[in-house]
Amino acid sequence: MNSDVEEMSDSLVRIFENVLLTEEKSLSRGYFSDLSLAEMHTLTAIGPYEAKNMSQTAQLLGITTGTLTVSIDRLVRKGYVDRRRDDRDKRIVRISLTREGKLACRMHSKFHRVLAKRILEPYGTDDRDRLLTLVKAIDKHVEGLLQRYEGTEEENSIRKTARQIVIETDDKIKKKETEDNG
Amino acid sequence: MDDPSGPRERNNDDMLKRKDMIFDDIVRELTQTLNMSPTDITVDLSLRNDLILDSLQLYELVIDMEEAYNIRLPDELLDEIDTIQDVVDLVYKLTE
């Protein structure tokens, strides 16, 4: 029989992978199949309401403004993001979602909400409270682990890996677009 | 000559007028989305059960109402909505 530690370890990895896979699959079969999961998360970081600036959005996503610029270029071309210079300070670039971008963002938020709703559904109020307390404790613990790497070589290497994944995903999308058009 | 109606009646008239305007906006939006005649749309219709709006159509309506009235309609509030009357009341409350 597996020890508690092994069961916990297996479950954590499985949950992480399966949520990501489910998101990707639901996205590719839905109304917004021209968006990658990374692009959808960029839309979510911008949010459906007031315009954001590039650096605060990049910070929220844990990427550099350079990487964000590449992603925003593509989202502007696809019609999901509107980019304009700040009226008062021309050095600042403001990004906001178009109507189509708002729709995509809200549909994706709904996906997360439905997932959470289904997980909580079988439980009564007391069990829900206990479950939420435990999940929040896990969240806090993992957040703390990440903070240990802030600004270190390891973090830079993690960011590099994340950027590499973004670049590879972009290449895959471009290849697919070329295949679809050709 | 003075208005014979008291302040309470006038407030009530204002409320009804504003609610009518909100309803008209919703009807305009729904007739475009669902290709229906405006006369077929009544306040007691359920958005999901009678008009069978899918999530995307519902969000289209929500986003347009948010922009038109400069309000926010987060999902927590949308959970409470069933009929067109519910939308009218919610938009009215948020713009009061």
Contacts of A49 in chain B (CB under 8 A): 72
pLDDT of residue A51: 92
Token digits for B71?
């309000």
Query: Looking at the complex, does the CB of residue B56 fall below 8 Å from at least one CB of chain A?
Result: yes
Domains of chain B (ranges, CATH numbers): 7-95 (1.10.1200.10)
User: Measured between beta carbons, which residues in chain B are less than 8 angstroms from residue A102?
Assistant: 59, 63
Mean pLDDT of A169-179: 62
Cβ contact A109–B75 (<8 Å): yes
Reading the block at residue B66, the tokens are 């948010």
Q: What is the pLDDT of residues A91-138, one digit of tens each?
A: 889 999 999 999 999 999 988 899 999 999 999 999 999 999 999 999
- Report the C-alpha gap between A68 and A166 in whole angstroms: 10
Q: What percentage of residues in chain A have a pLDDT greater than 70? A: 81
- ipTM here: 0.82
Query: Which pTM does this prediction carry?
Result: 0.77
Q: Measure A112 CA to nearest chain B CA, in Å.
A: 11
How many Å lie between the alpha carbon of A103 and the closest alpha carbon of chain B?
6
For residue A147, what pLDDT is reported?
81
pLDDT digits (tens, 9 = 90+) for A64-86: 899 999 999 999 999 999 999 98
CA–CA gap between residue A98 and residue A104 (Å, rounded) = 10
**Nearest-CA distance A155 → chain B (Å):** 35
Q: Which CATH class is domain A1-121?
A: mainly alpha
State the best of A99, A102, A106 to mutate against chain B, taking most chain B CBs within 10 Å. Answer: A106
CB B73 within 8 A of CB B90: yes
- Planar angle of CA B58, B61, B66, nearest 5 degrees: 125
pLDDT band at A43 (very low <50, low <70, confident <90, very high): very high
Inform me whether the pLDDT recorded for A14 exceeds 80.
yes
d(CA B73, CA B62): 7
